[in-house]
Structure formats: structure tokens, C-alpha cells
Amino acid sequence: MNEIAISARDLSLTYRVRKSLFRSANVRALNKVSFDVYAGETLGIIGRNGSGKSTLLRVLAGIYQCDSGELTISTNSISLMTLSLGFDPVLTGRANAVFGGMLLGFSHQQVLSVLGSIKDFSGLKDAFEVPVKTYSSGMLSRLAFSLAIILSPDIMLLDEVLSVGDQEFKEKAYDKMLEKISSTQTTVFVSHSLEEVEKICDRALLIDDGVVLASGKPTEISKEYRKLLL
């Protein structure tokens, strides 16, 4: 068994939604969530909308602080990969790629050194040099995915990133993901596609109402999830 890359113990988080100056409503997003992620493995997280998956990824990425619990991560190189990396519509794909890469924690030089690969993988060609306000949603997804996959940190936290672009790019993105995942990359992967989770992940976690209901082999966890949906 590889060493532990992420150790989560009893993570709890409750949103206090302000309704007025003196009133607020509590919405529990995570309730004593515990699990481990081993170095080099791909852990899939599945669950219904509002089950706490995205909140959990934000906690792992260090964006949210939990109300209680203990989180230990073996590296500082951990980033949440989303499909719209804060792109500025007025700026070119190239300029946005530079800023997006730096937001993921990479240095200016590191991002500049892989810009050519990002441009090639995205297949945007000359469109890489024009403002992204002219891009279709598929082109935006291509740029964001290429940036995330080429500049991967030690631990990647992926939130539904495989639903990208047209069929041709989707297949290309899927192959690249598999290539990454079969290497030493540690990945936590949130998806609604059970098929993807079964194919890509080594283990899976089922979350509902902020509670871990089950963890284990992706095929078994998928069955549990289907039962939950009935």
C-alpha cells in the first residue's frame, strides 16, 4: 500500500446563511467525513446534487476551513481544477492561460514554459491569440481543460472536468486523463457519470447529506448509488 497523501478525519462544515442582521439558517454540508487517499491512486466521489461533494473538494484544496475535524495533506501542491479558470473575456487565450496557471499555484516561468503544450493540446490554433470573449463554450472548456491537465499539481482535485468540448476533444481529454491517472498522479475526482468513475477510479466514496455512506470498489459503490436514487 502506498503512503497516505490525504488523511481526513471527522471533517464537519455547516454554512450559516445570513437572512437578516440577527437571523441565520444553518445548512450542514459535511458531517464527520473521514477517508484516506493514497499516493498515486484515483479516488472517485459520487453523490446527488447538494450532497457535499464540491464543498469537500474546496476543503481539500484549502479554500474552505472546516468547523471541526482534522485534515492532513502530504504536499502543498494541491489544486482544484474547474472548467472556467477565472478567464477575463477581454484578454487573449494566451494571457488567460498565464493567469489561470498562476492561480493554480505555478510560477510565471513554469507557466510560460508549457504555454506551447497548452496551445497544442487545446487545438485552439490561432484562436489562442484572440480575446476569449469570441470563444464558444466548447472552446473555453478546451482551454481550461488543457491548462489543468498540462499543469497538474501533485494532487489534482477534479470537479466534473470531463464534460468538455466536442466529441473529438472529449475522447482526447479522456485519453489524456487516463494517461495521467495511470502514472503516479494522485487524483480526487467528482463526477455524476458512474461509467467514468468505474473506468477511471481505483476506489470510490458515496456521499449523501454530508455523510459518507460507503467506500470501496467503484463498481460496488455505483450499485449503492443507484439504490439511493431509487
CB of 44 to other proteins, least distance (A): 20
Per-residue interface string for the shown chain with other proteins, residues 9-48, x marking contact by CB under 8 A: ------xxxx-----x------------------------
Q: Which is nearer to other proteins, 157 or 206 (CB)?
A: 157
Using rule CB under 8 A, residue 102 touches other proteins: yes
What is the Cα–Cα distance from 108 to 218, expressed in whole angstroms?
A: 38
With a CB cutoff of 8 Å and minimum separation 6, the contacts of 50 are none
- Does the protein bind other proteins through residue 70 (CB under 8 A)? no
**Residue that has been written with the C-alpha cell 493567469 in this structure:** 99
Q: Mask of contacts with other proteins, 180-209, x by CB under 8 A? A: ------------------------------
Rule CB under 8 A: say whether 49 interacts with other proteins: no
Q: Which helix (H) or strand (E) segment is 43 a member of?
A: strand 42-46
Strand partners, 45: 190, 205
Interaction of residue 91 with other proteins, rule CB under 8 A? yes
Rounded Cα gap, residues 78 and 93, in angstroms: 24
Between 158 and 194, CB nearer to other proteins: 158
| Residue 50 in the binding site for other proteins (CB under 8 A) | no
Q: What is the DSSP string of 63-103?
A: SS--SEEEEEES-S-EEEE-SS----TTSBHHHHHHHHHHH
Rounded distance, CA 135 to CA 141, Å? Answer: 10
Nearest approach, Cβ of residue 183 and other proteins (Å): 22
3-state secondary structure of 192: coil
Stretch of residues binding other proteins (CB under 8 A), selected from 3-11, 40-48, 95-103, 186-194? 95-103
- Dihedrals phi, psi of 66, to nearest 5 degrees: -75, 155
Cβ at position 191, least distance to other proteins in Å: 18
Among 29, 133, 35, 147, residue whose Cα is nearest residue 90:
133
2, 63, 113, 219: which one contacts other proteins (CB under 8 A)? 63
Binding other proteins (rule: CB under 8 A), the pick from 72, 107, 113, 136 is 107
Contacts to other proteins by CB under 8 A: 15-18, 24, 58, 61-65, 76-77, 79-80, 82, 85-86, 88, 90-91, 95, 98-99, 102-108, 131
